[in-house]
Chains A and B, each alone.
Chain A
């Protein structure tokens, strides 16, 4: 009965393990094989692994700036003007013009409900975000960044299948893009672009920043900014524009953006505003007919066409880009802009060729290691060695089957863990066999020796494996990326090898003599 259930279990797991050798496409198509199985880590499959840091400090600064603006606005309606206000070192600094304003300023600051006093003296008041609000800003920023990055990666037209964008820890996002579907440069543009689109009416323009600046010997105004337009081929500056600091309308109102081609078959990005944005845009274009309007993305002028008539919801962005670049730009605009910049803090990118090499050498090492260990076990323990070998194979089948069942990720260190398991799994059998040999030497019958041997060895086997399991679990907890894969195979391997030795080997020993009375045991 027990034999049948173990045999059934092994058949099931052999099936699960074997499914990994069938290609993904065939598996999905056929009704026989399960659709999912072992996943290959990026180090085997090839791909981009990025840990992206979100600049949360920037979010806090922006939040404080927002608070400052609203406090100033309210004070203005109270008839109070501050001497100076600034955001410094994650603090809002308000400098009073006179002592008599103190009560009003404190009241307005407190009224915002999101800042608390952090000191200050004389006429200087300092505020910081309340802890509660800081956490709120933190979480809001993280989910906004995650959402935007996900939308870019999962874009219905240009998205990259099988990619992963997840939050990692407090302030990071893990991005995994498998395979050869994207090169690093494109991935980088797609993910790192802030995607902040602005439309500004041009106040002045010239061929270069220098010549433009030369017209303003007294400098440009504080609310003005000079931005350049570059030739995408040569990077040479092909124009400079004097623009207002604040945008007339931003990409926040965008409803859609897509790749189109103009009459000369040049790629352009066509966009559409939502009704609210269309109204603002229509008003803006109507009052600025005849003037050029700069289309600015992430502080770079893409083009500055002259407005010929009122445009409300539809418009287009020209630029000297390739169709691919234009399509990616449309993705970035569709997904919305990142509220804060992101920085790549860790990268592990593996080319598909290297991944394939790793799989091959890993598989070879595993196979040859297995063969040598099996040969050694059979040579040393004879028939019992054959039992141990069967148990070892059962162990591998269980290990791979179990990992497939849970759709675990196999990495290169994971393969190393597999090979190590092969070497270490024999251990449990060795402990048992040596014990049986001892019992036989002390004059016990074969049947009794087997029974006592297993009995006495069981706890030893458990003790020995539990400790390795502890370290494997701790490694899983603290390891990153591929190393986690090692911890997975090692811990699952420990569990299956204990099962193989204590159940499968034992079963074989029970089946072999059966009810016959054997006087010698090949061990």
Chain B
């Protein structure tokens, strides 16, 4: 006998739990919303969307360095509110330094000096161009702390940041529209709203959880969100596909029963696919390195939320929409469905 994760004939009454699930989802969304309030926790926006400069430095072996030393040197240079984070484990000599604006006085003078020296074609009067700032910062650190290798420099100017924000929003919106159109085309327009609401539910909760744990939103997170959008829809579509098939086969049955059966019949597939995806993502999360970790984490959260919503949220949504607006071929027992069946 083959090993069955979900034994055949399993009939869990998923739809019966819909009130609890709905309450849970609403609670999660509200919690995320509360955390997003600036006075509670606020939404942290990463470099890509907020603009700013980030430098990752690996200090040479034997250089005595820690966060506070770096912070002091940077503060002396007039950089405002720099964030210094040690990368990896406690003893590592790798640091991430992030800063936004620069107090004009100290850095500007240095920048002009550098600019006149010839590192800069036209001397920026303000001396605030990020590239120069990085040079100023690195010179100071090298002189006062010790040698290092520049691992990474990222700078996003204000104009680019605004454009990336806009493009990100457009990408999310367009994806949602494309999905809506596809579901409406392949299934019926009655299925589309349920699928889209389920997907929006997944994204909102995932974003909420990211806010709760204080993760920064950047391009990687956006890419993960879009991947979730597609992935979570997969799950929903497969269940909806089965619902459609069952509706055609059993025109007499109670809609709630059909939905429940469909969810149960596809349950092992839903669970199995999530398992393999989660396994791959876990490996990425644990072994993929620092740069990819936020992406892997977002995907992990999204896949789990997406699986939950496909089973517990998408079908109740369909039921609610059908009983309210449907009334067509699949209605509750006492509805016209019975008459139609009698005719067959």
Contacts and interface: CB of A to CB of B under 8 A. Distances in A.
B276 interface: yes
B58 interface: yes
Interface in B261-303: 265-266, 268-269, 272-273, 275-284, 286-289, 291-292, 295-296, 299
Contacts of A358: 289, 291-292
A410 interface: no
Interface stretch (A155-163, A257-265, A365-373): A365-373
Of A194, A354, A472, chain B has the most CB atoms within 10 Å of the CB of A354
Contacts of B104: none
Interface stretch (A72-80, A101-109, A130-138, A425-433): A425-433
B178 A373 contact: no
A188 B295 contact: no
Interface string A183-218: 011001100111100000000000000000000000
Interface string B163-184: 0100110110011001100110
Contacts of B273: 424, 426-427, 430-431
A372 B281 contact: no
B117 A369 contact: no
B280 A351 contact: no
Given A189-B118, A341-B121, A416-B296, A468 B280 contact: no
Interface in B41-82: 56, 58
A225 interface: no
Contact of B8 (A185, A298, A441, A460): A441
A98 B298 CA distance: 71
A346 interface: yes
A348 to B, nearest CB: 5
Interface residues of A, number: 91
A157 B210 CA distance: 51
Nearest to B153: A349
Contacts of B287: 361, 364-365, 368
B113 interface: yes
A235 interface: yes
Contacts, number: 259
A475 interface: yes
B188 interface: no
Contacts of A194: 121-122
Interface stretch (B220-228, B252-260, B315-323): B220-228
B94 to A, nearest CB: 9
Interface string A479-504: 11001001100100000000000000
Q: Chain B contact residues: over half helix, strand or loop, or mixed?
A: helix
A46 B103 CA distance: 31
A419 B284 contact: yes
Contacts of A416: 284, 288, 292, 295-296
A369 B285 CA distance: 10
Given A188-B131, A347-B130, A434-B268, A471 B276 contact: no
Contacts of B223: 413, 475, 479, 483, 486-487
Q: Chain A contact residues: over half helix, strand or loop, or mixed?
A: helix
Interface in B130-184: 130-131, 134-135, 149-157, 159-160, 164, 167-168, 170-171, 174-175, 178-179, 182-183
B230 interface: yes
Of A189, A299, A346, A370, chain B has the most CB atoms within 10 Å of the CB of A346
A478 B170 contact: yes
B122 A341 contact: yes
14 contacts: A43-B291, A185-B119, A350-B151, A370-B280, A373-B276, A377-B276, A413-B220, A413-B223, A420-B284, A423-B281, A463-B241, A471-B229, A474-B175, A478-B174
5 A-B pairs with least C-beta separation = A423-B280, A468-B230, A369-B283, A361-B289, A423-B277
Interface of B: 2-3, 5, 8, 56, 58, 113, 116-123, 129-131, 134-135, 149-157, 159-160, 164, 167-168, 170-171, 174-175, 178-179, 182-183, 186, 219-220, 222-223, 226-227, 229-231, 233-234, 237-238, 241, 265-266, 268-269, 272-273, 275-284, 286-289, 291-292, 295-296, 299
